[in-house]
Chain A
């Protein structure tokens, strides 16, 4: 292979593998600590900041638990450094970059717990994003710091940890509904974007499919997967990604603000965001800024189970359309489509999400209710905290890596085609979340 030829890495060098491994190891570790009688010790070292208005209280919190900050940093630095080594990132640069990212995350988390800022909905997710966007678009970031800005990696760690906080019974109960709602919106949005792209704006159908996937399935990952399945041009995939990022970042602020303005309950708001946001990381930022665990849960159910999981199926359908309609020359036999597309394009980290949920569900089912309550406090509680930190690194990374100037390098036609999809996606998602399935989303606890 030439140095410029991208080669799909083997499984042990993929981000998905390490995100799942790290998250499941944390879950197993915390669980073992619980059964070894060290649950309270672990829980007391899961770093959180109480709500504060008096700076002295903040200082007291930090000075009373210096070990917690060091332990949190050491555990993740160690885990991520091992991952870096195997994946092939520059470990020394990554470690230095992560140290700065960690420092930034402590600062925004501390600030995000301030009473005054919380009143203005400027909590940790939005503060992290805002800090990143301002600094990333005004300052040239050193290369060693950029090495640690791994949005996709951190969000996958967070989502697998999220699985540990979502009982499998909820996934079984709400999963089919999430799939139904997501499928209705995804199909309607994809068709709208594709028709607009090809019939209204004269774009290539493969380009239309890539845009459609970005707007309906799971944002950048879908644009990449479906772009590949459709054999779209590299330039088209890049343009689709730019447009997805533009809208995804816009929706981080718009959807939560609209949810508050419209008085939506957290469960419903999370479902709406899960239907109408365009990327997992951006959607988590939006859902987390609602300020309720319920919103994050319904978002995850909708986005991960309702949409992300099916990217492989979409890839197969689009590959079939590509070889039988868009690519076909004359009446000769079309190229064969590999059904393995479904597995090749499937986002593997979702398996980790399900394993995490099953693991914790099995643990809870095998202990009595008193022990279960203690496990929820001493194990699931700290895992939620660790999840929160992974998401904070995600939000900071989104901000630091989003360059406004680069995002606007797309023509008006693809942007307009995508905008047609937004005009379908957002109201349809709103209606389904608030009117048709509201009771289900409000019942997710």
Chain B
């Protein structure tokens, strides 16, 4: 019914930015570098899995932002 995108935004100034990026790369996220931040996108990893993984590494919720977007597939009312 839907396509989905999980996007994690990490500010470069964040103390554990590199660690977060490594963890997200390990989950299969595609990374996109911007001057002040890194955007990590995935169409298969759900937000909950991101939180579980990053919390297990002791990374606080405040150190990143998650944005989830869904789009209807063809034919959905």
Contacts and interface: CB of A to CB of B under 8 A. Distances in A.
A398 B77 contact: yes
Contacts of B64: 335
Interface in A136-157: 146, 149, 151-152
A149 B75 CA distance: 7
A8 to B, nearest CB: 6
B4 to A, nearest CB: 5
B2 interface: yes
Contacts of A248: 77
Interface in B52-70: 55, 60-62, 64-70
Given A401-B75, A402-B77, A234 B2 contact: yes
- Report, as a range, how many residues of chain B touch the other chain: 20 to 34
B13 interface: no
Contacts of A112: none
A224 B71 contact: yes
B49 to A, nearest CB: 10
Given A5-B43, A245-B77, A402-B77, A335 B71 contact: no
Contacts of A234: 2, 4, 46, 70
Interface centre among B41, B61, B72, B76 (most CB of A within 10 A): B76
A219 B70 CA distance: 14
Most buried by A among B5, B43, B75: B75
A6 B68 CA distance: 11
Contacts of B42: 5
Contact of A1 (B30, B48, B67, B75): B30
A229 B46 CA distance: 13
A328 B60 CA distance: 10
Interface string A322-343: 0100011100111110100000
A303 to B, nearest CB: 14
B52 to A, nearest CB: 9
A371 to B, nearest CB: 41
A146 B74 contact: yes
A231 interface: yes
B2 A323 contact: no
Contact of B65 (A228, A249, A328, A335): A335
Interface in A214-269: 219-220, 224, 227-229, 231-234, 237-238, 241-242, 244-245, 248-249
B69 A242 contact: no
A248 B76 CA distance: 12
Given A151-B76, A241-B76, A333-B60, 14 more contacts: A1-B30, A5-B44, A6-B43, A146-B75, A149-B75, A152-B77, A224-B2, A224-B72, A228-B69, A238-B1, A329-B51, A332-B61, A335-B66, A401-B76
Closest 10 CB pairs of A and B: A5-B43, A401-B75, A6-B3, A231-B47, A238-B1, A335-B61, A333-B62, A224-B70, A228-B68, A234-B4
